[in-house]
Chains A and B, each alone.
Chain A
Amino acid sequence: MTKFSKKFSHIYIEKKALNHKNTLKILAKYPKAEIIEINNYKQIFNRRSQSWKSQKKSQNLILGFREDNFLYKGSNVTPNFGYDNFYYNSVVLNCLYDCSYCYLQGMFPSANLVIFVNNEDFINKAIIQSENHNPLYLCISYDSDLLSLEGLLGYCREWITSINDNIIIEIRTKSANFNSLKDLKAKDNVILAWTLSPENIIKEQEPLTASLKARIKGIKDAVKNGWKVRICIDPILCYKDFLKDYLGLIDLLNSEIDLSKINNFSFGLFRMENSQFKKFKTIQSENKLAHYPYVKDKNYLTYDQEAYNEITYAIFEKLNSIGINNELIDFQKIN
């Protein structure tokens, strides 16, 4: 019977990354992995004819050494939270999770995980950039979920302990991995952002991610330890009675967490760039999400204005009713 190999059964390593301390640390955790030497991560990552679906079932690891492109300017559908100098980086490409709606499957040709081992160079470049862009708002986990990899990499800890006050970093996660940072002192310029969905959506559309209960526990612990926390309910998926589930989620959060201590709330309807959607539709050909008749808004596919109006009104009303001011609520729109 066909059985997929275990995660990281094969580790491809760029020659320049072979002796880096992070490479050695990672290899020590996967002593049985088949090691294959490569010249450049793109030899594996950018190959033609890769199957995202199969690779997600047996994800392999590519260790690279980044020499350029340490920072990117944020796109117009990523929330900038009012910061003009909004950047993100890609110290890791792809993610351990397998969310059906993830834009990465339309963006990257491979589902394998790429880790650039020279995290210190990403940090140094961000520090240099922040001298001219004060403050520099930086998402360090946009094309991945760094906190879910903290046990393997320890990158979040390195960032938190290395950056100066000119840099504000956001670490966004669907993990329950706050414990790996628990011993650190909270910093004002670090925002821990949890992406949440109703439990039924987590079960159906977000395989391998932490349960809602576990994520809420992570939020509670972070708030208790004085960290700035953002709650992101994004993407919101529309289906029969979806409002009941999403408003129920807010009720649940209100009953479990002191929401007055949350830094802010970010919401967004499902949206995907047109060319990414085409690939997404091929990969997720059996998923209803890929076949819904979305409307085109600029170059993005999303739900219609009616759905947008319905959910924004309901969410603002719900949050206002529990004492959350509009200034603390961001609702992402395609600009």
Chain B
Amino acid sequence: MIGIVTALQIEGQKIINYFQLKKIVTENLFPIFTNKEKSIYLTISGVGKLNSSLASLNLTNKFDIHSIFNIGTCAGSKDKKIGSLFLINKIIDSSFNKEYFPDILFEHNLIEQSIKTVDIPANTEENILVDMEASGFFHSASKVLSLENIHILKIISDHFDDSFFDKEAILNIFEQNMDQIAKYINNVSFKFSNPSFTNKELERISDFFINYNFTDYQKQYFLSKLKALKVFKLDFNFLDTYKNEINNKTDLNKFFNLVIEKCNQLIKEQND
């Protein structure tokens, strides 16, 4: 699933329209909009890095997000046009004197830039993009997601002056960049598949666990062996052959070792 975090509703509005997102009415902490068919979730964080940090964690905790985007506005120097869209490759947190580096591994057509995240709105021109969310967003997102799945897109809304507050202008700069933003989101939302169990296999494993009161460690170890069997293209039919009666912990441990040994034997035989 794709997650998008914007600071203000006005920044998210064109994205909401573009992906036909609907508000989830039960979400009170931070507003969340979704199009479940497209597996997209957008949340409005409010201004500032703390809000952005909390909203991104809220989103990733509630939904199975594999790629997350902070999309918003920033201030830029006068040599850069209002409405220019940038992909951020370095974030400098001015108050913590900390630097963050997104992992940009996918091909794209955007211009990359560094950004500085500040705590109060900047009104003195600097030769770097300046925003109020990127560092908080990245700090939290990188706790739960792999770095290449965290993306920051910023559009210049002002040259360190008051034009930021012109709502119509904000809608316009998002409108003019929407195709590029959507294209980027589609291009980079990628997830490696891991060998996981089918529903039928999960049922079978669950049935097996019901009959034997394995410890959590034993269950995890056993699951890793079953994953190994899948990688070796083996089925779990051998589980049906066990009808062992377990009377105590010693019996259980013996039985566990027996089943693990069987898995190992099957793998060795299949190791071609």
From residue A151, how far is it (CB to closest CB) to chain B in Å? 24
Please, how many residues of chain A have a CB less than 8 angstroms from a CB on the other chain? 38
Q: Among residues 37 to 87 in chain A, which have CB atoms less than 8 Å away from a CB atom of chain B? A: 38-39, 43-44, 47-51, 53-55, 57-58, 60
At the interface, yes or no: A293 with Cβ under 8 Å from chain B? yes
Pick from B103, B112, B142: contact of A34, CB under 8 Å: B112
What does the 1/0 interface line of B251-272 toward A look like (CB < 8 Å)? 0000000000001100110011
Q: Return chain B residues, CB-CB under 8 Å to A34.
A: 89, 104, 112
Docked pose: A220 CA to B146 CA in angstroms: 45
At the interface, yes or no: A244 with Cβ under 8 Å from chain B? no
From residue B265, how far is it (CB to closest CB) to chain A in Å? 9
Stretch at the interface among A3-11, A95-103, A121-129, A322-330: A3-11
Asked if residues A286 and B231 are in contact (CB atoms below 8 Å), the reply is yes
Asked if residues A3 and B187 are in contact (CB atoms below 8 Å), the reply is yes
Asked if residues A49 and B147 are in contact (CB atoms below 8 Å), the reply is yes
At the interface, yes or no: A246 with Cβ under 8 Å from chain B? no
From residue B218, how far is it (CB to closest CB) to chain A in Å? 16
Asked if residues A54 and B146 are in contact (CB atoms below 8 Å), the reply is yes
At the interface, yes or no: A134 with Cβ under 8 Å from chain B? no
From residue B270, how far is it (CB to closest CB) to chain A in Å? 9
Asked if residues A54 and B232 are in contact (CB atoms below 8 Å), the reply is no
Asked if residues A2 and B190 are in contact (CB atoms below 8 Å), the reply is yes
Asked if residues B231 and A54 are in contact (CB atoms below 8 Å), the reply is no
Docked pose: A39 CA to B232 CA in angstroms: 45
Q: Among residues 119 to 174 in chain B, which have CB atoms less than 8 Å away from a CB atom of chain A? A: 142-143, 145-148
Q: Return chain A residues, CB-CB under 8 Å to B267.
A: 291-293
Pick from B228, B231, B272: contact of A239, CB under 8 Å: B272
At the interface, yes or no: B210 with Cβ under 8 Å from chain A? no
Asked if residues B231 and A5 are in contact (CB atoms below 8 Å), the reply is no
At the interface, yes or no: A252 with Cβ under 8 Å from chain B? no
Asked if residues A2 and B188 are in contact (CB atoms below 8 Å), the reply is yes
Known contacts A4-B106, A292-B267, A49 near B142 by CB under 8 Å: yes
Asked if residues B187 and A50 are in contact (CB atoms below 8 Å), the reply is no
Asked if residues A5 and B104 are in contact (CB atoms below 8 Å), the reply is yes
Q: Return chain A residues, CB-CB under 8 Å to B114.
A: 36
From residue A281, how far is it (CB to closest CB) to chain B in Å? 8
Docked pose: A49 CA to B103 CA in angstroms: 10
Asked if residues A54 and B192 are in contact (CB atoms below 8 Å), the reply is yes
Docked pose: A293 CA to B266 CA in angstroms: 10
From residue A301, how far is it (CB to closest CB) to chain B in Å? 13
Asked if residues A49 and B272 are in contact (CB atoms below 8 Å), the reply is no
Docked pose: A6 CA to B107 CA in angstroms: 8
At the interface, yes or no: A285 with Cβ under 8 Å from chain B? yes
Asked if residues B231 and A4 are in contact (CB atoms below 8 Å), the reply is no
Known contacts A2-B189, A3-B187, A292-B271, A55 near B103 by CB under 8 Å: yes
Asked if residues A286 and B194 are in contact (CB atoms below 8 Å), the reply is yes
Asked if residues B232 and A293 are in contact (CB atoms below 8 Å), the reply is no
Asked if residues A10 and B104 are in contact (CB atoms below 8 Å), the reply is yes
At the interface, yes or no: A28 with Cβ under 8 Å from chain B? no
From residue A259, how far is it (CB to closest CB) to chain B in Å? 30
Asked if residues A50 and B105 are in contact (CB atoms below 8 Å), the reply is no
Q: Return chain B residues, CB-CB under 8 Å to A50.
A: 103, 146-147
From residue A253, how far is it (CB to closest CB) to chain B in Å? 24
Q: Which of B108, B146, B227 has the most CB of A within 10 A?
A: B146
Q: Among residues 215 to 272 in chain B, which have CB atoms less than 8 Å away from a CB atom of chain A? A: 227-228, 231-232, 263-264, 267-268, 271-272
At the interface, yes or no: B99 with Cβ under 8 Å from chain A? yes
Known contacts A49-B143, A54-B192, A5 near B105 by CB under 8 Å: yes
Docked pose: A98 CA to B142 CA in angstroms: 25
From residue B269, how far is it (CB to closest CB) to chain A in Å? 9
From residue B110, how far is it (CB to closest CB) to chain A in Å? 11
Q: Which of A2, A9, A34 has the most CB of B within 10 A?
A: A2
At the interface, yes or no: A288 with Cβ under 8 Å from chain B? yes
Asked if residues A51 and B106 are in contact (CB atoms below 8 Å), the reply is no
Q: Return chain B residues, CB-CB under 8 Å to A161.
A: none
At the interface, yes or no: A267 with Cβ under 8 Å from chain B? no
Docked pose: A21 CA to B188 CA in angstroms: 36
Q: Return chain A residues, CB-CB under 8 Å to B227.
A: 285, 291
What does the 1/0 interface line of A11-49 toward B look like (CB < 8 Å)? 010000000000000000000001010110001100111
Asked if residues A44 and B272 are in contact (CB atoms below 8 Å), the reply is no
Asked if residues B146 and A51 are in contact (CB atoms below 8 Å), the reply is yes
At the interface, yes or no: A162 with Cβ under 8 Å from chain B? no
CB closest chain-A residue, reference B114: A36
Q: Return chain B residues, CB-CB under 8 Å to A238.
A: 271
At the interface, yes or no: A320 with Cβ under 8 Å from chain B? no
From residue B151, how far is it (CB to closest CB) to chain A in Å? 13
Known pairs A53-B192, A58-B105, A286-B194. 20 more at Cβ < 8 A? Answer: A3-B106, A3-B107, A4-B105, A4-B107, A5-B104, A6-B107, A12-B101, A36-B114, A49-B143, A49-B146, A49-B147, A51-B148, A51-B192, A54-B105, A57-B105, A240-B271, A241-B272, A288-B271, A291-B267, A293-B263
Q: Can you list 9 residue pairs at the A/B interface with Cβ under 8 Å?
A: A2-B106, A3-B106, A12-B101, A49-B147, A51-B148, A54-B192, A58-B105, A285-B194, A293-B268
